[in-house]
Amino acid sequence: MNAEQRMKDARGAAKYIGGYLARPAIAEYRVVSYDHHKVHYWYEDHRTGKRVDVVSPVMKFIYDLVQHIPPKHFRMVGRYSLYSRGKNKESQKVINLWWYMIHKQIEMTFPVKERKKKNYRQRMLESYGRDPMLCPCYNHRMLSRGRKNQRYGSIMFA
């Protein structure tokens, strides 16, 4: 739904939301008249295609309408235009093809280089500009005799 614009009246809001939800059982304009005892409405018969006028008691009319109310948590959202099931599958194919072409063009233009893993010394030189294997006092390269690991304790090299 696009809710960027502010709703000005309830009728407009109902009309807007109605496009995304299931249709009502009977439109308001089909109710011809109502007194406190009877309701006069019409509908179009799908078999014959002709208009059928009905005058029924209020409680019978309400009973007929209530039958169209779905159970709680019953999903009644309609899927229209691009969101319809058939169109959605087609649009997903188009999008997947588009992504495939974009990634292929990028790979052809900029080939992926395999990066070599850097060791501790290279990462420290790159990050801090300081060689961790140089002695701070004599500026000579130190030899590593072991390493202290929090999980495994001290590891000594021969």
Top-confidence residue, 53 or 100: 53
Top-confidence residue, 151 or 52: 52
Instruction: Determine what percent of the chain is predicted with pLDDT higher than 90.
Output: 19
Report the mean per-residue pLDDT for the chain: 77
pLDDT band per the 50, 70, 90 thresholds, residue 66: confident
pLDDT score for 35: 92
Q: What is the dihedral of CA 71, 75, 81, 82, to 10 degrees?
A: 180
Structure confidence by residue, pLDDT tens digits, 95-114: 888 888 887 777 777 766 77
For range 35-58, the mean pLDDT: 93
pTM (2 decimals)? 0.37
Instruction: Determine what percent of the chain is predicted with pLDDT higher than 70.
Output: 67
Q: How many angstroms separate the Cα of 78 from the Cα of each of 51, 64, 81, 84?
A: 27, 22, 10, 8
pLDDT band per the 50, 70, 90 thresholds, residue 118: confident
Residue 138 has pLDDT above 70, yes or no: yes
